[in-house]
Amino acid sequence: MICKSRSKLFKLLLTLFSFLGLFLSSSGFEVFKAGGARPENIEYSIEPYEGVLNYMTPLWVMLGIVLFILFICNLKFSVYRLNKFFLFLALLVFYLFLSVSWSIYPKTSLNNAVLILCFALFSFMHVWVSGTRRAIMDIEHFLFFVVLLSYFMVFFMPTYGLAVGRHEGFWQGVFSHKNNLGVTCNMALVFFLINKNVCSILYWSKLVLVFFLLIMSGSYTAIFTAFLILFFFAAMKIKLSKNIIMFAVFSILFFGFFAVFISQSGLGFNIFGKGTDFSSRNLIWGFVINRFLERPILGYGLATFQELAKQEHEIIRLYVGEVVNNTHNGFLDSLLNLGMIGFSLSLIFLFITPYLNRTSGCFNVSVLMCLVFIVNNSFESRFFVFGHLLYVYFYCFFIGVKSRINKKKLQVDNNV
């Protein structure tokens, strides 16, 4: 694909480039921009940061475009033939860009569409050049690095690593919120578990480190997700049918919608000390549902809620009681921003990824990542946003596509 004399250098650049992209999309620089841990919500935000860290994302995009051009110039035509899964993803990304035309905040929608396109292009490039095993290994190494860095922030830079405000005392590590640390621990748990070297001391050390970090984050969503990960991982170990596992994981989506339903129904009861208002998410969800019903088909345009929270914060404050900057539900967020059409495409993307990996060696990773994606998006907004959870999910998608292309190519070769 790329001449042998340059392939190692190119793969090294890709690894470093992926590390940077994953760290940027994880909001890892945000706590440094703020000068330390800050209480959540817009009303506590400080003066806008105008330093060099603001240029890291544009730099990442420009560097990625250069690498992608080099990659395309050396790509064999047979690799990027019109595979139906590529066509679906092209349709999905096209719709994201199309939403800019009716967005109430077109600049915000365009910026996010470009970043999500970069997720797709750069994860595709990494998987095709480095291979599926190397790509998974690079993600695992990044997550281990973030886990260690979070411990460092907590013990040696506590004004950055420990949350303040309503979540005071909980660990947030290198992130700007404890829930970001929680979802990162969920992802780390997935990639650490699937490592086949179970007899290694390092294997068990990683699991202990990530579990302790997870507990100290105080993220109920992440802790609940961790138990689900262990349950489904055990089901995979006893060779339960892949179809049954996928059906069970997909079914969890309905429990997420049920949580929204009971939050709006007025039913009041506690589960493990958490009420059915889900930490006031019921008010946020009610506001989102009402706005969605005003434009149900096309929505308001990609990634508009954060800008809506800035421009119409007083309206949100009257409805919710405080100013919030996300919907705390990725599926409602997708409905609000992309309407029923975009939401339908989003669900297909979510479900098709484990299906693509049914015959690959990465089935366990893709299903467990689907699980993490569903549960976290039931209580946080992590669907079509500039976030490392979506970035890694694109990796799972392309790993599945590549395994299918390789399998078909092998069948052709055997028939010749």
Write b or e for each residue in 95-127: b if 16 or more Cβ atoms lie within 10 A of its Cβ, otherwise e. Answer: bbebbbeebebeebbbbbbebbebbbbbbbbbb
Q: CB within 8 A of 96, min separation 6: which ones?
A: 112, 113, 116, 117, 302, 338, 342, 384
Instruction: Give the pLDDT of residue 41.
Output: 57
3-class SS at 227? helix
Instruction: Give, in order, the Cα–Cα distances in Å from 400 to each of 68, 87, 128, 187, 414.
Output: 20, 15, 11, 18, 21
The first and second tokens of residue 54, run together, are: 């603001």
Enumerate the β-bridge partners of residue 270: 275
Instruction: Give the pLDDT of residue 76.
Output: 64
3-class SS at 398? helix
Instruction: Give the pLDDT of residue 361.
Output: 81
The domain in which residue 321 lies consists of: 4-415
Instruction: Give the pLDDT of residue 54.
Output: 86
Pick from 230, 122, 183: nearest CA to 377? 183
Instruction: Give the pLDDT of residue 119.
Output: 94
Pick from 19, 15, 93, 14: nearest CA to 56? 19
Instruction: Give the pLDDT of residue 82.
Output: 57
Within a 10 A sphere around the Cβ of 330, how many other Cβ atoms? 27
DSSP string covering 107-175 = HHHHHHHHHHHHHHHHHHHHHHHH-HHHHHHHHHHHHHHHHHHHHHHHHH-HHHHB--GGGTTSB-TTS
Give 126-156 pLDDT, tens digit per residue: 999 888 889 999 999 999 999 999 999 999 9
Identify whether the C-beta of residue 213 lies closer than 8 Å to the C-beta of residue 173. Answer: yes
Write b or e for each residue in 353-363: b if 16 or more Cβ atoms lie within 10 A of its Cβ, otherwise e. Answer: bbbbbeebebb
The first and second tokens of residue 267, run together, are: 């039913």
* Domain count along the chain: 1
- Residues of the chain below pLDDT 70: 1-6, 40-48, 76-82, 198, 266-280, 408-416
Within a 10 A sphere around the Cβ of 415, how many other Cβ atoms? 6
Pick from 254, 291, 288, 261: nearest CA to 276? 261
